[in-house]
């Protein structure tokens, strides 16, 4: 693939998705105040963000509603309490996790919903189940993406086959997801080329969802974009599981499209994200996440290490090497 | 230029320089304890680091010695109190700043010194003065690099001419320095190609010194390396002016040469860097540095903003736009 775009001009195909509530909700069990969500919605609209992901469509049969904030479930009622009929240019997205979503009942017809996009999160080995959700959501009228997670741990032949399978589905977009934050820009470029090949073959677009374990989330996101990837995930102050994601403030300061405006983002950061951090929510690049990222491991042990306020990095590293 | 090396094999030409004391000293006026410096020296030797920069060779005529720690001056006596005769494979570097160093008197013959390398820091418009120091240090027997600072603010024709000038000098290596942390990987690749062209023409090597204003210090360092740049600066926990530098722990976890060992680095971080941070030294990526980096400005106003414990990012941004 040739490079797409340059550092001076606008790539009008590029769109930005704010995943703060969804990936950030993994930090605080989705316990955001309504005021926070309201302000975030308004900041995103003002900033020119194209999509805002509100959370998961998790099954209330599977998860105890008293243990999670409402954005793990994203009911129509809760969404409308924030966005009304969403009279804005920004689209509303939710995530449906394979095996954790009662999609047949909980995802209603688009015509009755304020939701615009359903993002189907799946591991490579769950593709048939993912495609079932994709086809259901497409038939109901939604824009649909397939977010294939943890590819740094999957075999290349399996990724190739997953791309063929989802390419042949009705999905609109396919996401390159670096769940463990373990991929270097050089790898991202070659994986993006592979995904773009599938995109061109099947008429899909490609998205990028990065994690910041090695301080590469922003770099990997813009490198993927330069290969043609066009739907870019970011979160406010990089809030997200473990080391967090690509920071919205970095991404919007990079993009050249004048429709993007960093000022409302900066306002939101100072008024809402700093107090959230001060209240005890913990995320962002730190040494233990670097180590799990480097070793291509799920960040869970690093999250525990951080929660326990440990700082014996060398001991932690020795333990990881035994895993 | 073609890519050099890959993600599996060793590039034996790549060397790592620890700049913790020198760039980190700009955070705390070089007020490190002897115990800290001793432990850092030993950690670097164990980690396989190739060069350790101890600080500046600043003139005691120009700077008040009561206001700075000893590593702003790096006398032979102070160096030897830490390293003895430096019976290790690691080389000792110091920085000579154009206009701030009485090099004729303060840099003695290599044969009488424990220092191995003199790094000459210069702006593009000071090249003749830089070359005077370079030739002096080479004549005295040192390995010498020329670190051309703030190139993101210099005209390309001036950079080209500076490369010709220093290429024709006796210097051993030339550094690509992103002083403001404002360059993207795409720019770093093309600038690195330009520097590598000069390197091949004149028989020099190229180094990389990055700043982390946009969380790109590590990404830019490894991207430069992939273009052939071979002397890579890093600092412990990225300690350095403002947003800091490329983190040593990230760089050593990336490099494939088995001579590098991240374990003593992790030990040093937990035993010395965390207490240093807790004692009040402030550095590292933060929103105000992103904004100065993005706007290609010196980080000084962001450093003041951080020191004043302000968090009105949006106001700060508005002020910057007026500069």
Tokens of B1: 């230029």
* Gyration radius of chain B's alpha carbons: 19
How many CA atoms are closer than 13 Å to the CA of A309, on its beta-carbon side?
1
Average pLDDT, chain B: 97
Q: What is the spatial distance between Cα B100 and Cα B109, in angstroms, rounded to a whole number?
A: 19
Which residues in chain A have their CB less than 8 angstroms from residue B235's CB? none
- Residues contacting B313, CB < 8 A, separation 6+: A266, A267, A269, A270, B287, B288, B291
Residue B94 distance to chain A (closest CA, Å): 28
Structure tokens at A67: 């243990």
Q: How far is A289 from chain B (nearest CA, A)?
A: 11
According to the model, what pLDDT value does residue B190 have? 96
The three-state DSSP-derived secondary structure of A275-309 is HHHHCCCCCCCCHHHHHHHHCCCCCHHHHHHHHCC
pLDDT at A2: 82
In this complex, the residue of B7, B187, B274 whose CB is nearest that of residue A187 is B7
Q: Which residues does chain B have within 8 Å of residue A311's beta carbon, measured at their own beta carbons?
A: 270, 274
CB contact under 8 Å between A311 and B270, yes or no, is: yes
Distance CA A176, CA A158 (A): 14
The shortest C-alpha distance from B98 to chain A (Å) reads 33
Quick one: pLDDT at residue A29? 97
Here the tokens at position B305 are 């903003």
To the nearest whole Å, the CA of A57 is away from the closest chain B CA by 32
- Residue matched to tokens 């999160």: A121
- Dmax over Cα atoms in chain A, in whole Å? 55
Chain B contact residues (CB < 8 Å to A):
7, 184-187, 212, 214-220, 222-223, 226, 237, 247, 249-250, 253-254, 262-263, 266-267, 269-270, 274, 285, 287, 290-291, 294, 311-314, 317-318
Q: Where are the beta strands (DSSP E) in B98-142?
A: 117-123
Biggest distance spanned by C-alpha atoms of chain B: 55
Tokens of B162: 């500076």
User: For residue B78, what are the CA distances in angstroms to A147, A150, B34, B67, B81?
Assistant: 57, 51, 10, 17, 5
Distance CA B293, CA B279 (A): 27
Nearest residue in chain A measured CA to CA from B3: A186
Residue B67, burial from CB neighbour count under 10 angstroms (0-12, 13-18, 19+): exposed
Residue with tokens 């773009």: A196
* Residue A316 CB-density burial (10 A; 0-12 exposed, 13-18 middle, 19+ buried): buried
Specify the pLDDT at position B269: 98
- Burial class of residue B132, CB neighbours in 10 A (0-12, 13-18, 19+): middle
Q: If pLDDT is split at 50, 70 and 90, which confidence band does B87 have?
A: very high
Mutation target vs A (from B192, B213, B214; most A CBs, 10 A cutoff): B214
- Measured between CB atoms, which of B250, B270, B314 is closest to A214? B250
| Burial class for A56, CB neighbours closer than 10 Å (0-12, 13-18, 19+) | buried
Tens of pLDDT, residue by residue, chain A (323 residues): 688 999 999 999 999 999 999 999 999 999 999 999 999 999 999 999 999 999 999 999 999 999 999 999 999 999 999 999 999 999 999 999 999 999 999 999 999 999 999 999 999 999 999 999 999 999 999 999 999 999 999 999 999 999 999 999 999 999 999 999 999 999 999 999 999 999 999 999 999 999 999 999 999 999 999 999 999 999 999 999 999 999 999 999 999 999 999 999 999 999 999 999 999 999 999 999 999 999 999 999 999 999 999 999 999 999 999 87
At residue A217, the 3 state secondary structure works out as helix
Beta carbons within 10 angstroms of residue B40's beta carbon: 23
- Say what percent of chain B tops pLDDT 70: 100
Q: How far is CA A162 from the centre of its chain?
A: 19
Q: What angle do CA A43, A47, A48 make, to 5 degrees?
A: 125
Asked whether the ipTM of the predicted complex exceeds the cut of 0.90, the reply is yes
Quote the radius of gyration of chain A (alpha carbons, Å): 19
Q: Break chain B into its structural domains and give their ranges.
A: 15-278, 287-321
How far from each other are the two terminal CA atoms of chain A, in whole angstroms?
37
Angle at B270 between CA B264 and CA B275, to 5 degrees: 135
Q: In a mutagenesis test of the A interface, which of B210, B227, B265, B314 is the best target, namely the one with the most A β-carbons within 10 Å? A: B314
Q: Which CATH number describes the domain made up of B15-278? A: 3.20.20.70
Count chain A–chain B contacts defined by CB atoms under 8 A.
Answer: 104
Contact A219 B215 (CB under 8 A): yes
The conformation of residue A161, written as its DSSP 8-state character, comes to H
Nearest residue on chain B to A266, alpha-carbon basis: B314
| Distance (Å) from the alpha carbon of B216 to chain A's nearest alpha carbon | 6
3-class secondary structure per residue, B182-228: CCCHHHHHHHHHHHHHHHHHHCCEEEEECECCCCCHHHHHHHHHHCC
Q: How is residue A273 annotated by DSSP?
A: I
Taking CB atoms and an 8 Å limit, are B215 and A214 in contact across chains?
Answer: no
Contact A213, A242 (CB under 8 A): yes
Q: What average pLDDT score do residues B110-123 get?
A: 98
Predicted pLDDT of residue A178: 97
Q: Shortest CB distance from B218 goes to which of A216, A247, A269?
A: A216
In the three-class reduction of DSSP (H, G, I as helix; E, B as strand; rest coil), residue B133 is classed as: helix
pLDDT above 80: residue B251? yes
Per-residue tokens: A218 = 């922003």
Residues from chain B contacting residue A224 (CB–CB below 8 Å): none
How many residues can be counted in chain A? 323
Residue B3 is encoded by which pair of tokens?
């890519």
Give the best residue of B2, B187, B210, B219 to mutate against chain A (max A CB count within 10 A). Answer: B219
Q: What is the pLDDT of residues B30-66, one digit of tens each?
A: 999 999 999 999 999 999 999 999 999 999 999 999 9
DSSP state of B245: B
d(CA A184, CA B220): 11
Nearest CA in chain A to B220: A219
Please report how the helices A127-139 and A156-167 are oriented relative to each other, as an axis angle in degrees rounded to 10: 20
CA triplet B13, B18, B19: central angle to 5 degrees? 125
**Would the pLDDT of B1 be above 90?**
no
Q: Using the beta-carbon criterion (under 8 Å), do B270 and A294 form an inter-chain contact? A: no
- Residues of B in Cβ contact (< 8 Å) with A294: 253-254
Q: Which residues of B246-261 are buried (b: 16+ CB within 10 A; e: fewer)?
A: bbbbbbbbbbeeeebe
Q: Name which of B226, B287, B290 is nearest A186 (Cβ-Cβ).
A: B226
Residue B82 makes CB contacts below 8 A (sequence gap 6+) with B34, B37, B38, B41, B54
pLDDT, one tens digit per residue, over B215-250 is 999 999 999 999 999 999 999 999 999 999 999 999
Q: What's the whole-model pTM score?
A: 0.97
Chain A contact residues (CB < 8 Å to B): 7, 184-187, 212, 214-220, 222-223, 226, 237, 247, 249-250, 253-254, 262-263, 266-267, 269-270, 274, 285, 287, 290-291, 294, 311-314, 317-318
């Amino acid at each position: 693939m040739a490079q797409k775009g340059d550092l001076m001009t606008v790539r009008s195909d590029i769109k930005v998705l704010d995943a703060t509530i969804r990936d950030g909700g993994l930090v605080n069990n989705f316990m955001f105040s309504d005021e926070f969500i309201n302000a975030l919605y308004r900041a995103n609209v003002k900033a020119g963000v194209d999509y805002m992901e509100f959370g998961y469509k998790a099954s209330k049969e599977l998860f105890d509603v008293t243990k999670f904030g409402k954005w793990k479930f994203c009911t129509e009622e809760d969404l409308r309490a924030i966005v009304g009929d969403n009279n804005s240019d920004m689209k509303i997205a939710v995530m449906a996790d394979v095996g954790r979503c009662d999609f047949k009942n909980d995802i209603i017809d688009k015509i009755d919903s304020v939701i615009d996009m359903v993002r189907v999160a799946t591991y490579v080995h769950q593709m048939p189940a993912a495609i079932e959700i994709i086809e259901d959501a497409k038939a109901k009228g939604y824009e649909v993406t397939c977010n294939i997670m943890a590819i740094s741990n999957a075999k290349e032949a399996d990724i190739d086959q997953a791309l063929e399978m989802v390419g042949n589905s009705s999905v609109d977009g396919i996401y390159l997801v670096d769940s463990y934050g373990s991929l270097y820009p050089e790898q991202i470029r070659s994986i993006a080329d592979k995904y773009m090949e599938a995109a061109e073959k099947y008429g899909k677009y490609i998205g990028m969802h990065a994690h910041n374990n090695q301080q590469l989330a922003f770099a990997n996101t813009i490198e993927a974009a330069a290969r043609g990837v066009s739907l870019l995930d970011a979160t406010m102050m990089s809030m997200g599981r473990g080391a967090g994601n690509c920071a919205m403030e970095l991404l919007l300061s990079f993009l050249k499209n004048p429709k993007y405006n960093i000022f409302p983002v900066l306002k939101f950061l100072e008024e809402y994200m700093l107090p959230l951090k001060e209240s005890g929510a913990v995320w962002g690049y730190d040494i233990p996440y670097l180590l799990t990222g480097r070793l291509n491991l799920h960040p869970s042990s690093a999250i525990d290490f951080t929660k326990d306020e440990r700082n014996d990095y060398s001991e932690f590293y020795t333990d990881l090497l035994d895993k």
